Amino acid sequence: MAKNYDLIVIGAGPGGYTAAIRAAGFGMKVVVIDEEKLGGVCVNRGCIPTKALLYASNIFSMMQHSDEFGVSTDFISFDFSKMQAYKRRSVQKYRREIEKLFEKNGIDFVKGKAKIRREKTVEVLGEDGREYYHAHNIIIATGAKPIMPQIPGIDQVGVVNSDRLLSAKTWSFDRIVIMGGGVIGVEFATIFQALCSKVTIVEKGPHLLGPMDMEVALALERQLTKKGITVYCNSTVDEISNGDGLSCVVKNHVSGAVHRIKASQVVVATGRKPYTEQLFGEDVSLQTKNGVLVLDKDFMTSEAGIYAIGDVTGQTMLAHVAMAQATFVVETIAGRPHTIRLEAVPNGMYVSLPIVPNCIYTVPEIATVGITEQTAQVFGMKVRCGVFSMNENGKSIIAREEDGFIRLIFEAYTNTIVGAQMVCPRATDMIGEMATAIANGLTAEQLMRAMRAHPTYSEGITAAIEDAMKGE
């Protein structure tokens, strides 16, 4: 006999656990099912462990230049196994906080492989055998998995994806080739360059970071190159061999140039795809397009009462997007007013503005929200832009982190903010102010009313607004 719930959530990552906690707060009886630990990929093998290693490696990098600040030391070194232990402690503490919220809200967690059957029944194969669960509503939040390109040698020892890289216990990264110049690729490049690895990034597109603003991507590429990272764009790794260590054949598909690069490790960071393997029983058929679930505006699948959120949707693959979608869907199910916007249409605008912050934890950090000047031109929108170089910012000068800029884009007639791009320290923290401003249709004049403390990085926002409004 099936156990009955108001809501079944399949997947215990940020989207899944947010949905569960939100639903329990509305009085629903909730069960969350996952094959692995609570927290999903983000907490256990993605966002949290990556950022922990970024933090640790940046401390080592800063200490190498401590003499500039009058701090002297005879010898600086790092212990990779201790860094990994610090990372694991960070993950465990974060996961424990989620577990406390589940306990507080009476949410059940079941570890096992879920399969959706007819009439909104879920079959779970776990450690205790086969069990069945039934609910009025189901949320699919199973996430995504790394894509492994089919090239000769991809199965060689020493070729790893991002998930496996984070579990490494010993140091073997003196020379590392990273396949893919997206967010995952450049963050790993930042970690290992800071730990004195010889890093090469191979990106098939014309620049790093794919669809991100060209000027932002080029600014990052200049910084990475300045730090000693080799970047090959318009290029792919066509073959990996293992003779005297790993060797990658890199081909530039514009010039035709071929390079052979030695590596101790090859990291595959060429993207992720929705994970739905063995999720649906023979008695369930949900509509898909190009292998991705078809959803309506409320994230409902072709079967009423079954929803999908997060990376499994094949849309923007970010943890905070999954969490926002989780809140939106649970409020829909509960018949409650929506407390979160997934896009904004400010007063007087004829185009929806994305309000999802995109954050990259390189050095310097990168954060963007809204639209770029180029996108505005595509829409036929007249804009005014303000730019501030961080080499004029007091906090940046103190910290010796002057590289970077803040650019703000305003609609030309109303002075409403429509976009922001930041390449500077603490950009990932400051972008929240810009996302709030875009979501609420704030103007340059309204943004100028609040003081920003001195000296702070956020003073650059004020300066960028003033630059945009020159002559007004």
Query: Known catalytic residues?
Result: 454
Tell me how many degrees the CA angle 461-56-363 measures, rounded to the nearest 5.
Answer: 35
**Alpha-carbon distances, residue 67 vs 1, 70, 79, 189, 252 (angstroms):** 69, 5, 21, 25, 41
Is-contact 283 157, C-beta < 8 A? no
How many other CB atoms are there within 10 angstroms of residue 134's CB atom? Answer: 16
CA distance 467 to 420: 14
CA distance 186 to 451: 34
Is-contact 203 177, C-beta < 8 A? no
Residues whose CB is less than 8 angstroms from the CB of residue 290 and which lie 6 or more positions away in sequence, other chains included: none
Is-contact 369 438, C-beta < 8 A? yes
CA distance 179 to 203: 7
| Residues linked to residue 408 through DSSP beta bridges, in sequence order | 386, 420
Task: Give the pairing type, strands 230-232 and 235-243.
Answer: unpaired
| Sign of the C-alpha dihedral computed for residues 131, 135, 138 and 141 taken in this order | negative
- Which of 190, 178, 143 shows the shortest CA–CA distance to 35? 143
Give a three-class secondary structure readout of 222-256. Answer: HHHHHCCCEEECCEEEEEEEEECEEEEEEEECCCC
Residue 126 CA, chain-centre distance (Å), reads: 30
Write out the DSSP string of 12-34.
-SHHHHHHHHHHHHTT--EEEEE
CA distance 256 to 15: 43
Is-contact 19 107, C-beta < 8 A? no
**E strand or H helix that includes residue 4:** strand 3-10
Strand positions, DSSP E, 157-205: 159-161, 175-179, 198-202
How many other CB atoms are there within 10 angstroms of residue 145's CB atom? Answer: 16
Identity of residue 79: D
